[in-house]
Amino acid sequence: MGIDLSPNEKQCNFDCLYCELKGAKTVQIAQNVPTCKEVINALLEALQKHQNIDVITLTANGEPTLYPYLDDLVDAINKIKQNHQLLILSNGSTIGNRAIQSALLKIDIVKLSLDCATQKSFKKLDRPHSSISIESIIEGMKTFRSIFQGKLVIEILIVEGINDTKEEFEALNLVLQAIKPDRIDVGTIDRPPAYDVKGVSMERVVELSSHLVGLHVNIAYKKEYTQTKRTFSEEDILELLKRRPQSFEDVKLCFDAISHQHLQKLLDEKRLHVKHIAGVNFYTT
Ligand code: SF4
């Protein structure tokens, strides 16, 4: 269940080329927002109506951490959320801010965007407010990781001609090894973007993701995407998982029937296991 903290207009400190919302001038704080009480009343009503909810998601037409009463809102939601998980989808821009960190520490799953590791690509793609640098975001992510006990997910969105190079992904890999997120979601443009940019092929997404070594990478495959199935011996599977854990989706797409038997045998022998990370399952050694 999503909670939109900027329901009336786009209020964001980025103006990403791939944004699904119309381009808009960046802001540092969201002013046109519902009160905490309005959000909580709407949530209470929705929780009564809908029983089958896994996650309550804080999001916005823009950046949800620009909501001025975030800390109070998180406290109020935690009081009424029962056993539902609370998730926030943020562009990561404010993660170095101590006040934002302390609000986010009380959230179960924090998902932050990190499309680029270099200031040049970051400025070109995410078009941030002039006060924001990629270095401060990366430092903020490292600090937050060191104090956050919940699940930290990083999202990378690939855009043709900007962050779709081996060099950019090698730089991202270095940064991500230091941040140590629980999971990384990688995808490309799927819906009409605000500006004239294109996504890359799923083959390219898979290829670029291979530069993220030893990390739990969850590729957002498009529905129509198929791969040639391959045969993996037990040793191949162990090698593959040592290099990078594979999501259930990865395995479904590229393992043939024999590979599935080998995988099952390794599971039965407890030479590999399944790890559940914020709603996504991975095979890992
Ligand atoms: S951070 Fe999100 S809302 Fe803001 S411009 Fe980028 S895609 Fe749009």
Cα of 243 vs its chain's centroid, Å = 21
CATH of domain 226-285: 1.10.10
Contact 212, 184 (CB under 8 A): yes
Contact 202, 164 (CB under 8 A): no
The pLDDT of 242-271, averaged and rounded, is 95
Cα gap 234→260, rounded to integer Å = 10
Task: Tell me the pLDDT tens digit for each residue of 165-203.
Answer: 999 999 999 999 999 999 999 999 988 999 999 999 999
Q: Please give the full DSSP string across 134-202, using - where no structure is assigned.
A: HHHHHHHHHHHHHH--SEEEEEEEE-TTTS-SHHHHHHHHHHHHHH--SEEEEEE--S--SSS-----H
Any atom of ligand 1 within 6 Å of the Cβ of 263: no
The pLDDT of 206-228, averaged and rounded, is 93
Best substitution site from 5, 10, 11, 12 to test ligand 1's pocket, by max atoms within 8 Å of Cβ?
12
CA 265 to centroid of ligand 1, rounded, Å: 44
Any atom of ligand 1 within 6 Å of the Cβ of 15: yes
Task: Tell me the pLDDT tens digit for each residue of 11-55.
Answer: 999 999 999 999 999 999 999 999 999 999 999 999 999 988 989
Residue 246 has a pLDDT of: 95
Task: Tell me the pLDDT tens digit for each residue of 78-100.
Answer: 999 989 999 999 999 999 999 99
Cα gap 151→109, rounded to integer Å = 5
| Atom 3 of ligand 1: nearest residue by CA position | 62
- Sign of torsion over alpha carbons 29, 101, 179, 191: negative
User: Which residues, listed in sequence order, are joined to residue 113 by a DSSP beta bridge?
Assistant: 155
Atom index in ligand 1 nearest the CA of residue 61 equals 3
Q: Which one-letter DSSP state was computed for residue 22? A: P
CATH of domain 2-222: 3.20.20.70
Judge whether residue 222 has pLDDT over 90. no
User: Which residues, listed in sequence order, are joined to residue 185 by a DSSP beta bridge?
Assistant: 155, 218
Best substitution site from 11, 18, 61, 63 to test ligand 1's pocket, by max atoms within 8 Å of Cβ?
63
Judge whether residue 223 has pLDDT over 90. no
Residue 226 has a pLDDT of: 87
The domain ranges of the chain are 2-222, 226-285
Task: Tell me the pLDDT tens digit for each residue of 59-82.
Answer: 999 999 999 999 999 999 999 998
The pLDDT of 140-154, averaged and rounded, is 98
Nearest alpha carbon to residue 266 among 236, 225, 222: 236
Nearest alpha carbon to residue 282 among 184, 212, 136: 184
The pLDDT mean for the chain works out to 96
Q: How many CA atoms lie within 13 A of 207 on its CB side?
A: 10
CA 60 to centroid of ligand 1, rounded, Å: 9
Any atom of ligand 1 within 6 Å of the Cβ of 60: no
State the CB neighbour count (10 A cutoff) for residue 28. Answer: 13
Residue 219 has a pLDDT of: 96
Residue 190 has a pLDDT of: 87
